Structure 1
Amino acid sequence: MSTAIAAFNDHRTLTGPEKVAALLLAMGKPLASRLLKHFDPGELKTITRSAAALGAVPITALETLVEELAQQFSRGVDLRGTAAEVEHLLGGVLPPEQVAEIMSDVLGSSNSSTWVRLSGLPEADLAAYVGKEHPQTAALILARLTPEAAAKTLAILPRESRNALTRRMLALRPVSEATIKILENKLRDDLLNGPPRDAGANSQGRVADILNRMEPEQAEDVLSSIAEAKPVDAAALRSKMFSFNDVVNLPAKSKSVLFDRVPTEQLTMALRGTDATFRDSVLAALGARARRLIENELNGEGGSAKEIAAARRAISTTVLQLSSLGEIELTAEAA
């Protein structure tokens, strides 16, 4: 090892952590993984910083340091230590959360921490965003989210989009760091950094979403209070709100799309306690088989008031999600 160190010193003096980082990067992930497990978190951060800033190491110095890997570098390609390389090296050895913490500490607010923060956003927001992007860009975004966040986002996308994006994710080719950097900057500007340009509209949307999840009597009381001081805001909030009772006012096409997404048992539960006119209006939008199934279930008893209210809120939430994705219209005039 002393000969190897001397060879390195002929080029420039490397610190101990830099030498370790160079060796680990030269070993490759399978062999390096065995060693990384023996470092404590503090040592891992030190090595990660060194690897991220290592830069180019001449092939001659590298061959001297790791003679047993000379065959791997016989084509004369220099080694370059980058943040992406060391993040890849850590992946699979440590839990994703620990990798994200280490890389965030090394890189500040860039790279992995951006995707961790994006993965923490509501899936409805992510779905609405990727739904407006080019499919290839959307696939790249989904592929870099955490698996859990990507799965939840895909789950509320239209079936055709979900399947197409998954196929694109399978076929993704490596993307340059410069391209990823541009994408990250755009995502931070659009989704993470401060209030967007339409902050007022977004605030109304968030408040409307909160009101939609409250008990109807409570929501109406809040709206009445807002109307006394800000009638325009109250009217805007009402236009963004949707309750289960509004289902019958949806255009026929929107009803068809909605009931195709809502589980039969959830719709059955939500219809309990409704009057015959309302029930018939909803059932008329279903296929014959689904209608008979629900009618048979409704003939029996079942479901507490709490379960019925939860089912109705869930359907209202689904309506708003589908509307935000542009899959359904809430009014016949806009259809």
Structure 2
Amino acid sequence: MQEYEDFSADNPVGQALSKPQKAAAILIAMGKPVAGKLLKFFAPSELQTIIASAQSLRSIPPQELENVVAEFEDLFTEGTGLMDNAQAMEGILEEGLTPDEVDGLLGRSEALNKLETTIWDRLQEADPTAVGQFLSREHPQTIAYVVSMLPSSFAAKILLQVPEKQRANIVHRAVNMKTVNPKVAEIIEQRVAQMIEDLKGDENTEATSRVADMINEMEKPVVDALLGELEAISSSDAAKVKPMVFLFDDILTMPQRSRITLFNDISSDTITLSLRKSDADIKEAVLGSIGARQRRMIEADLAEDMPSVTDRDIAVARRSITQEAIRFASLGQIKLAEEEDSEQAA
């Protein structure tokens, strides 16, 4: 191949073929099996030059191709005219080189780098519940920007984790979102990147959460016994699960201020349903945490007999309240137990 080492620039249509164009034409005319075996005799720089020539190679009439073939010894007879040369050259490369080598010569690696997933693609791989709980600590404008950058279905799941009283404000900000200063966008994206890393920090969080959800479906005596046995087996596992375990009866151990914060975000219908068949002390703890007018309405509803309400309906209402309590606690907005109780439990 020494005769073709000194490659010149590609010639425009209508002029004689340059040396790299002739080499490309011959390789394409050979076909994949033979041409693929010859590729190892070219230096990488030569191959790149031939590839570039093939991509811009004009259609070659049979007679002109025959003249080119005649310049080489022991090569095949004339071709039939060349079209789609870039694709043909790619096929030849794939026959004689590894996929990585082909990608490198064709510049595919650079193209793939340009298509690297964005921070918003990476965020969608995270648990929307965890993302929403994390973002709840951020400024509403930041949350609005983040949800505006995500698909609607994923953004909706995130928004549902934000306290209900903040949602309208966030939606309002997202609807009226103007062009964001690039520097501000960069700061937010850096924060999102850090959030993704933080969410990956504990790979067992999801498993622990599933276990806690299972325990939260049990009756309090069973839960207390189970957590005691888990503590004996593994204190570290118990320490992971306990903060996520909160039953409806545990409302009695909550500080009054935390109860007020919690039930301020719960609808009257849910509160009414959860208090049916409840003990008097729990009813008083809940009703003593809401406004006087709301309390009178709920007490009036509780006084009415509702045969259509099932135990399952009551359990669902109570579970929705305990889930909200756990979410608020994870955000540091409420405490699930008085300080002295927490210290004794520790």
Letter in 1 for 2:299: E
Query: Residue 315 of structure 1 is aligned with which of 293, 315, 321?
Result: 321
Letter in 2 for 1:117: E
Change (3 A) 1:172 1:160: farther
Q: Is the 8 A contact 1:268 1:294 kept in 2?
A: yes
Q: Which TM-score applies when normalising by structure 2?
A: 0.55
- Consecutive unaligned residues of structure 1, counting only runs of 5 or more, are 1-5, 7-11, 17-52, 54-82, 84-103
Query: Residue 241 of structure 2 is aligned with which of 237, 241, 247?
Result: 237
Change (3 A) 1:147 1:278: same
Letter in 2 for 1:126: V
Change (3 A) 1:139 1:270: same
Cα distance in 1 between the residues matched to 2:209 and 2:55? 52
Cα distance in 2 between the residues matched to 1:236 and 1:116? 26
Cα distance in 1 between the residues matched to 2:198 and 2:335? 30
Cα distance in 2 between the residues matched to 1:14 and 1:181? 42
Q: Which has the larger radius of gyration?
A: 2
Query: Residue 267 of structure 2 is aligned with which of 263, 268, 284?
Result: 263
Deviations 1:82-121 (A, max 9, x none): x9xxxxxxxxxxxxxxxxxxxx998353356335435xx2
Q: Does 1:294 align with 2:302?
A: no
Letter in 2 for 1:325: L
Letter in 2 for 1:114: R
Give the superposition deviation at 1:295. Answer: 1.5
Instruction: Kindly tell me the number of residue pairs found equivalent between the two proteins.
Output: 235
Q: Is the 8 A contact 2:213 2:245 kept in 1?
A: no
Aligned to 1:40: none
Q: Is the 8 A contact 2:274 2:317 kept in 1?
A: yes
Give the superposition deviation at 1:215. Answer: 2.3
Give the superposition deviation at 1:207. Answer: 5.1
Give the superposition deviation at 1:259. Answer: 1.2
Q: Is the 8 A contact 1:268 1:298 kept in 2?
A: yes
Question: Identity rate of aligned residues, in percent?
Answer: 24
Secondary structure in 2 matching 1:133: coil
Equivalent positions of 1:63-102 (< 5 A) are none
Q: Is the 8 A contact 1:111 1:181 kept in 2?
A: no
Q: Does 1:172 align with 2:175?
A: no
Aligned to 1:273: 277
Query: Residue 210 of structure 1 is aligned with which of 208, 213, 227?
Result: 213
Equivalent positions of 1:93-112 (< 5 A) are 107-110=115-118
Give the superposition deviation at 1:247. Answer: 1.1
Deviations 1:169-189 (A, max 9, x none): 32331454x976775565355
Cα distance in 1 between the residues matched to 2:264 and 2:163? 11
Secondary structure in 1 matching 2:121: helix
Equivalent positions of 1:106-145 (< 5 A) are 107-110=115-118, 113-118=121-126, 121-123=127-129, 125-145=130-150
Q: CA RMSD in A?
A: 4.1
Give the superposition deviation at 1:333. Answer: 2.7
Cα distance in 2 between the residues matched to 1:193 and 1:333? 27
Change (3 A) 1:229 1:266: same
Aligned to 1:151: 156
Cα distance in 1 between the residues matched to 2:244 and 2:294? 30
Q: Which TM-score applies when normalising by structure 1?
A: 0.56
Secondary structure in 1 matching 2:278: coil
Of 161-170 and 137-146, more deviation after overlay is shown by: 161-170
Q: Is the 8 A contact 1:208 1:240 kept in 2?
A: no
Secondary structure in 2 matching 1:329: coil
Cα distance in 2 between the residues matched to 1:14 and 1:182? 45
- Consecutive unaligned residues of structure 2, counting only runs of 5 or more, are 1-12, 14-51, 57-106
Cα distance in 1 between the residues matched to 2:114 and 2:291? 57
Secondary structure in 2 matching 1:246: helix
Give the superposition deviation at 1:317. Answer: 0.1
Give the superposition deviation at 1:311. Answer: 1.2
Change (3 A) 1:218 1:106: farther
Give the superposition deviation at 1:193. Answer: 8.5
Give the superposition deviation at 1:320. Answer: 0.8
Give the superposition deviation at 1:282. Answer: 1.5
Change (3 A) 1:203 1:111: closer
Change (3 A) 1:277 1:193: closer
Q: Is the 8 A contact 1:204 1:237 kept in 2?
A: no
Secondary structure in 2 matching 1:195: helix
Give the superposition deviation at 1:203. Answer: 6.3
